[in-house]
Amino acid sequence: MLYYIFEWLKQIEFPGYNMLISVSFRALITLILSLLISTIVGHRFIELLRRKQITETQRDVKIDPFGVNKIGVPSMGGLIIIVAILIPCLLFGRLSNVYMLLMLITTVWLGAIGFIDDYIKIFKKDKEGLHGKFKVFAQVSLGLIVGLTLYFSPNAVIRTNTKHMHQGALIEVAHSKKDVKSTQTTIPFFKNNHLDYSDIAFWTHDNTQKQIWGWIFFVVITIFVVVAVSNGANLNDGMDGMAAGNSAIIGVALGILAYVSSHVAYAKYLNIMFIPGSEELVIFACAFVGALIGFLWYNAFPAQIFMGDTGSLTIGGIIAVYALSIHKELLIPILCGIFLVENLSVIIQVQYYKYTKKRGKPVRVFKRTPIHDHFRTTPNLLDPSCKFIVTKPAQVFHEAKITIRFWIVTIILAAITIITLKIR
């Protein structure tokens, strides 16, 4: 909203209008405002939840070898994150921008689903919350909306790279002046690092059919990425500060990727696709990171509030849609490696247990899943009737140590993700 006031100031040539409308100024103001909102509003929101006794009652003290009591800690703290994202973006973002609109829709959409899930758990006293099929339906629906919007919107375009050669040598990398609809995406570690989904349709040589199949593949990939990453973030939310800290680091990396993709000179230098309009995603990334860091003020060990599914589903969906918007979804396995491992650990644990149980000898791969719980589970808590394959390390770690080490791993993965733009 304030952005359009800045636009009006530009028209009347108000002194300093260039600074007010610049991406860097709006991004920094957004970061500061979201940080302030999440810290200031967070304190009052926690007090309100305590007075209303809207607290987490599902935590089992016995699983913590250090005896940390988390019963009675307020939940639904994801509302703090959502509010701290929406207000700065509505104030300083360009709301006519297709990418900003997609991010706002994602935030509200998955925030509402997570809120319903938390509401059922807390107020209806149903620890299962919203049935899994409804969550998946909401995630698939969002993926479909995002994929089709990027397909049909005339503003969701890229400018492809062109190489000027002279006598067999590369002289310059430039971008075409024409905006085009494209199903290209960035793949890591390859010199020609663009993959067009339409090339997968090898069975047809008709360009029109190839483009149609390309968008079908893109929409399917979009749905898969949204479901996988949002569930991965949800699983990662099991220790104080874990999901918020990892997601903030991922948000910084995505913001950098969006910035270089929206800047002609940097995109040219890095030989990546130029995405007009994606500079507004930098504004959103700053709001996202600021909200999460402010939330960490209260969520770091020992947590004064939990984000609940209201927060974890939302931040996972945000990361997925953000990466898709800048055509970097194939970098997610690296950047969100922690989420990937959390997902895989649960899948492996469940499927292998079912397989061995049918054979009469139930076996679990890990002591507990998601994988972060494996490192804080003592042998006396294990099911004696079941065999375990991975029992190391024998010692258990405090959750604060596990959280910080997971943060460090995510920092390394984020650095590798950014480096892939040059190492190929």
Tens-digit pLDDT profile for residues 320-330: 999 999 999 99
Q: Other CB atoms closer than 10 Å to residue 285's CB: what's the count?
A: 26
Same domain, 282 and 414: yes
- Which residues sit opposite 274 in a β-bridge? 159
Q: In the prediction, which pLDDT does 61 show? A: 44
* Residue 192 placed within a domain: no
- Residue 72 DSSP code: T
Distances (CA, A) of 209 to 50, 148, 212: 58, 17, 5
Residue with tokens 């003290």: 61
* Residue 174 placed within a domain: no
Same domain, 252 and 365: no
* Residue 195 placed within a domain: no
Same domain, 300 and 245: yes
Joined tokens for residue 302: 């020992």
Inform me whether the pLDDT recorded for 7 exceeds 90.
no
Among 19, 28, 14, 4, smallest CA distance to 282 is for 28
Q: In the prediction, which pLDDT does 172 show? A: 55
* Segment 26-40 mean pLDDT: 95
* Cα(118)–Cα(120) distance, integer angstroms: 5
139 Cβ neighbours under 8 A, 6+ residues apart: 110, 113, 223, 226, 227, 230, 231, 317
Among 10-19, 63-72, 83-92, 366-375, whose mean pLDDT is lowest?
63-72
Half-sphere exposure of 51 (CA within 13 A, CB side): 6
Inform me whether the pLDDT recorded for 313 exceeds 80.
yes
Same domain, 378 and 267: no
Same domain, 314 and 383: no
Helices in 64-184 by DSSP H: which ranges?
78-92, 98-123, 132-152
* Residue 88 placed within a domain: yes
Same domain, 151 and 252: yes
* Cα(103)–Cα(325) distance, integer angstroms: 9
* Residue 135 placed within a domain: yes
Same domain, 74 and 218: yes
* Residue 69 placed within a domain: yes
Task: Specify the number of domains making up the chain.
Answer: 2
Same domain, 381 and 413: no
Distances (CA, A) of 83 to 45, 68, 139, 169, 294: 11, 30, 21, 53, 12
Give the 3-state secondary structure of residue 169. Answer: strand
Same domain, 68 and 125: yes
Same domain, 382 and 313: no
Same domain, 321 and 365: no
* Segment 126-146 mean pLDDT: 90
Q: Is 169 exposed, middle or buried (0-12, 13-18, 19+ CB in 10 A)?
A: exposed
* Residue 72 placed within a domain: yes
Same domain, 240 and 321: yes
Structural domain range at position 384: 356-399
- Per this entry, what is the length of the chain? 424
Inform me whether the pLDDT recorded for 132 exceeds 80.
yes
Q: Residue 60's pLDDT band (boundaries 50, 70, 90)?
A: very low
- This prediction has a pTM of 0.92
- In Å, the largest CA–CA distance within the chain is 79
* Residue 183 placed within a domain: no
Q: Residue 141's pLDDT band (boundaries 50, 70, 90)?
A: very high
Q: In the prediction, which pLDDT does 57 show? A: 57
